[in-house]
Structure 1
Amino acid sequence: MEKYMLPCVNKKILGIDCLGCGMQRAIALLCKGEFTAAFYMYPAIYPLLLLLLFLGFNFFLKFKHDSIIKIGLMVTTVLTMIISYIIKMKIIFN
């Protein structure tokens, strides 16, 4: 599975990780059952999976406050991505 992963264009051109760097490797780790390693690789993997699962269920089943739940999950996912990226960049450049 790892030999079919796409390279990060941002990292190739600019030499800096992007907000999505590590997502493919985290998914590969999840498939292997390494849940803690997947979180350390890409902390936003679990909020992202939760969002995708909710969107999939919401496609077939309508909930009363689904728009509020969607917005909450999206905000949580984006904030997790941004915060983990800032922490990663702070560690790399210090």
Structure 2
Amino acid sequence: MNTIKWLQNFMIPCPLKKLTGFDCPGCGFQRSLIALLKGDVINSFYLYPATLPILVFLALCVTDARYKYDKNLRIKRPLFIFTAAVIAIAYVIKMSKYNPLA
């Protein structure tokens, strides 16, 4: 639990949000990761839907770098595309709430 409190105290502010007032495509990841570390998967998904796909992709990259089992990118490429799509779709949905014309 001390690690989680430490992470909460040292969250990195988003420079894009400070500059423009709008969230970047990565805004929410830190809070989502902390919620996931606390065991709150639903809140983690609500805060940033791409957290689990990003973590799975990173774990796959680390293990592949060590054991070299995905030489033809049969697993990494589709997982990367899926993760990028989740990030893009979640960002479009999030930004649609900031519509200044509404």
TM-score by length of 2: 0.85
Matched ranges for 1:1-94 at <5 A: 1-63=7-69, 66-93=72-99, 94=102
Higher helix share: 1
SS in 1 for 2:97: helix
Q: Any unmatched runs of 5+ in structure 1?
A: none
Closer, same or farther: CA 47–37 of 1 in aligned 2, 3 Å: same
1:47 and 1:3 map into 2 onto residues whose CA distance is 25
- Verify the 8 A CA contact 1:27 1:38 in the aligned structure 2: yes
Larger radius of gyration: 2
Aligned residue-pair number: 94
CA contact (8 A) 1:29 1:38 kept: yes
TM-score by length of 1: 0.91
Cα displacement (A) at 1:64: 5.0
Unaligned runs of 5+ in 2: 1-6
Quote the offset at 1:24 in angstroms: 0.5
Of all paired residues, the percent bearing the same amino acid is: 36
